[in-house]
A and B are shown apart, each in its own frame.
Chain A
Amino acid sequence: MPETRSSNARKPKRRRAAADYERIFHPRAIAILGVSTEDGFGFGAGMFRAISAMGFEGGIYPVNPRGGAFDGREIYRSVEELPDPVDFAVIAVAARHVPAALEACLKKGIAGAEILSSGFSELGTDEGRRLENEISRIADRGICVVGPNCFGIYCPKSGLTLLPGPDLSRETGPVGFVAQSGGISIDFAHAGKWMGVKFSKMVSFGNGADLREAELLHYFADDPETQVVSLYIEGIKDGDAFFRELAKTAAKKPVIVLKGGLSRAGARSVASHTASMGGSREIWSSILKQARAVEVHDTEELAQTTLAFAGLPGRAFRNISIVGGGGAIGVTACDTAESYGIEIPPLSADLRTRIEGMLPRPGSSATNPIDVANPFVAPAILKEVLLAAAADPQIDLQILVSLLFHYKTIARFMGRPIAEVTPFRELATAVRDVVEQTGKPVVAVLSSARRDADSLDVIEMTALARQEYLRCGIPVFDELHDALRAVSHMNDYYEGRIK
């Protein structure tokens, strides 16, 4: 008989009930262990302030064995003496006190805890590893643990926030995000606010003594609040479980993955060509393809791709129209689109004639890409152009390239602020109307060539214009290339690669 496969994978943990997760992400009351009365700048105090500032509606109970008061609130001496049931705990005590703190939370019937404290396996010391193993063992007895050495959970709906984010968005949305790295998480949470990526839940799990990528994927696969899953991964613990959960989740909803820390196998000592070519980079790419996840290569691409999946209807957009004016969009747009397998088909002759009639001449072109000749074409006309182009049955999606920075010239000439002379509100409303009337999505590209310190007014206006588009439900990208790349990821995901 063949040899049996030796399995060094840890035996699967007991599955957490959806009810446990519900208590963790939407707690009615929180305990914060390690709120210090003296300096007031520790992680515990920071999290207390951040969650309060976020407007968390439930009870927040600071805990510290020394007692006292913080911010005018009574500090409880222990978890046991908390007056009400608590669903979730934030643990920010010194590493050596963490197991006892977690044990107390378990006894209190708390469903989950995030451990912000560091000083565990990341130190590489025996003591650090011992403490972390203790955390894992306590977790196995019935409390979910996020961390240690993490920034915690962000849930806009409930008001839970990452350290140190007192001012993250409270607008909930379809994106579930998971990362080991707290830094990546807080950056994405902030970027989401201006980019228009709205989160259902974000979990930075740090050392991942308990909840990790595979288990969180399992949760997000069936979480009705999450429509798109986004993942930043450095290392994984169990390749088999990760692959299984990734494939299962990606079969239900898009999963976008950025893998950090890839290297080629050059240094490994291997005998065959196969092994020498199968470095972690190649294998990871293949694994992601095999699981039908979407692979991205940097944090910008991760955010942009997440935006597209979250902001556009879930389908492929193979044929698009591009509308813009005042820049060299024509040729480069076609080149870029082609490299992503996206077609910019010529519009039908009658539509071309109709659109030509709307546009200033000379300098315009009604073939696709549609060059409206200058960046000052009125929103009402652009609306007609977009409506006409959408009438071509070939077109699946439209991209409007708005070079609004050119209004700086008009503002200077008129002696008025650029934000007043640029019709971005009308533009955003017009685009929203087009989407509503045609059922075909429009993506806005707000390129700006003016980003120098003399153009702070342009930067401000561009930010306001973006906000206006987002308010109208129109995804916005900085560059045409970014938009096309994000759309091509959607095409790959929704078309599958073999029909």
Chain B
Amino acid sequence: MKKDKAVKIIQAALRKGRKTLSEYEAKQVLAAYDIPVSREVLVKDKARLDAALGKIGFPLVMKGCSADIAHKTEKGLIHVDIRTVTEARKAFRDIMAGLEGFDGGALIQEMIKGRRELVMGLTRDPQFGPCVMFGLGGIFTEILRDVSFRRAPLTLRDAREMMQDIKGRKILDAVRGMEAADADTLAQMLINLGQIGLDFDSVMEIDLNPVILSGAKPVVVDALMVVAG
């Protein structure tokens, strides 16, 4: 783990009086804790777009990325399944316009394919401190609320049990031609997420949603991190 990197990102955001990290920053913090995130490049300058496209490769996803903007979908700041340079350039123009002058850029992101979406998160309970969440992701998170919690620090057994706590636990099995999820990696992600909560009192809430199972491998595709000084 590269905690120093996480410290720098979080402290920089706090110094600026920010309440959230941008998706890009949040994922760098996660990556510093060995939590697998989508490959991505942040582009603020049009001149650097082509290089980023070359690095990530088509098809890809482009998102508006700013700590000041929370609801990207509603503002037309997400463009998925981009397959050509022309499409990418148009998306870039739309995104930069949609940022409405807020500090930010376009996140050029590999498109993670997988039919199974999970959620992970961190909340801070007034009694028990940082607690890690696991459950069904994507649109099902709010609809089904099929989630479980464990208090940090998590043991490996805690992490494995919380995955078995949800009603939809079978989504992790080999179903309908899909591979069984990599439970070791999932468990380690939950443990490390709890560690972020223990290491940083300033990290108040984290949402990783969706965490897509790409084959067996979980990848964090979107991340929200709420901080407080």
Given contacts A2-B200, A5-B198, A290-B151, contact A274 B205 (CB under 8 A): yes
* Residues of B in contact, count (CB < 8 Å): 46
Residue from B122, B150, B151, B199 within 8 A of A274 (CB atoms): B122
B117-134 residues with Cβ-Cβ distance < 8 A to A are 119, 121-125, 127-129, 131, 133
List, in ascending order, chain B residues with CB within 8 A of A242's CB.
Answer: 127
- Interface set, chain A 268-297, CB cutoff 8 A to B: 270-275, 277-278, 280, 282-283, 285-287, 289-290
12 of the cross-chain contacts (CB-CB < 8 Å) are A1-B4, A1-B7, A2-B200, A239-B125, A272-B206, A273-B141, A273-B142, A278-B131, A286-B149, A286-B162, A497-B164, A498-B160
Cβ contacts under 8 Å, A243 to chain B: 128, 151
- The distance in angstroms between the C-alpha atoms of A468 and B115, with both chains bound, is 60
Interface status of A125 (Cβ within 8 A of chain B): no
A residues within 8 A CB of B201?
3, 5-6
For residues 133 through 177 of chain B, which have their beta carbon under 8 Å from a beta carbon of chain A? 133, 135, 141-142, 145, 147-151, 157-158, 160-162, 164-165
Distance, CA A243 to CA B201, complexed state (A): 19
CB-based contact B160/A273 at 8 Å: no
- Cβ of B48 within 8 Å of any chain A Cβ, yes or no, is no
CB of B31 closer than 8 Å to a CB of A:
no
B133 and A278 form a contact (CB under 8 A)? yes
B192 contacts the other chain (CB 8 A):
no
Cα-based distance from A3 to B229 in the complex (angstroms): 11
A80 within 8 A of B: no
What's the minimum C-beta distance from A93 to chain B, rounded to whole angstroms? Answer: 34
Q: Does A479 contact B (CB under 8 A)?
A: no
Interface centre among B20, B127, B226 (most CB of A within 10 A): B127
Interface string of B56-77 (1 = CB under 8 A from A): 0000000000000010000000
Q: Is A122 located at the chain interface by the 8 A CB criterion?
A: no
Bound complex: CA A338 to CA B164 (Å): 19
Per a CB cutoff under 8 Å, which of A3, A275, A289 touches B199? A3
- A239-B128, A290-B150, A290-B151 as given contacts; A274 in contact with B202, CB under 8 Å: no
B147 in contact with A277 (CB, 8 Å): yes
- A236 interface residue (CB < 8 Å to B): yes
Is B161's CB under 8 angstroms from A271's CB?
no
A283 with B128, Cβ < 8 A, contacts A271-B205, A272-B205, A277-B145 known? yes
Interface pair B133/A274, CB less than 8 Å apart: yes
Given A3-B201, A283-B131, A286-B149, A278–B123 Cβ distance below 8 Å?
yes
The residue of chain B having its C-beta at the shortest distance from the C-beta of A238 within the complex is B127
How far, in angstroms, from A97 to B129 measured CA to CA in the complex?
Answer: 38
Query: Contact between B129 and A240 (Cβ–Cβ < 8 Å)?
Result: yes
Residues of A within 8 A of B129 (CB): 239-240
Residues of B within 8 A of A (CB): 3-4, 6-7, 19-20, 70, 119, 121-125, 127-129, 131, 133, 135, 141-142, 145, 147-151, 157-158, 160-162, 164-165, 198-202, 204-207, 209, 224, 226
Q: Which of A274, A282, A286, A497 has the most CB of B within 10 A?
A: A274
Q: Which of under 10, 10 to 19, 20 to 34, or 35 or more describes the interface residues of A? A: 20 to 34
Complex contacts, A240 vs chain B, CB 8 Å = 128-129
Instruction: Tell me whether B122 and A271 are in contact (CB under 8 A).
Output: no
**Interfacial chain A residues near B162, Cβ < 8 Å:** 286
Please determine whether A272 and B224 come into contact, CB atoms closer than 8 angstroms.
Answer: yes
- Docked pose: A239 CA to B125 CA in angstroms: 10
Beta-carbon nearest neighbor of A274 in chain B: B121
B151 and A271 contact, CB distance less than 8 A = no
Partner of B133, one of A277, A497, A498: A277
- CB neighbours of A3 from chain B (8 A): 7, 199-202
| 6 closest A-B pairs by CB | A274-B121, A239-B127, A286-B149, A278-B123, A2-B199, A272-B205
Whether A289 contacts B161 by the Cβ 8 Å rule is: yes
CA distance A285 to B148 in the complex (A): 9
- CB B130 to nearest CB in A, in angstroms, measures 10
Residues of B within 8 A of A271 (CB): 19-20, 70, 205, 224, 226
Q: How far is the CA of A275 from the CA of B224 in the complex (A)?
A: 12
Q: CA separation between A417 and B205, bound complex, in Å? A: 68
A497 engages B205 (CB within 8 Å): no
* A234-271 residues at the B interface, CB under 8 angstroms: 236, 239-240, 242-243, 270-271
Interchain CB contact under 8 A, B205 and A275: yes
Contact with B along A1-40 (1 / 0, CB 8 A): 1110110000000000000000000000000000000000
- Complex interface: chain A residues within 8 A of B125 (CB): 239, 278, 280, 283
CA separation between A286 and B194, bound complex, in Å? Answer: 14
B123, A274: Cβ atoms closer than 8 Å: yes
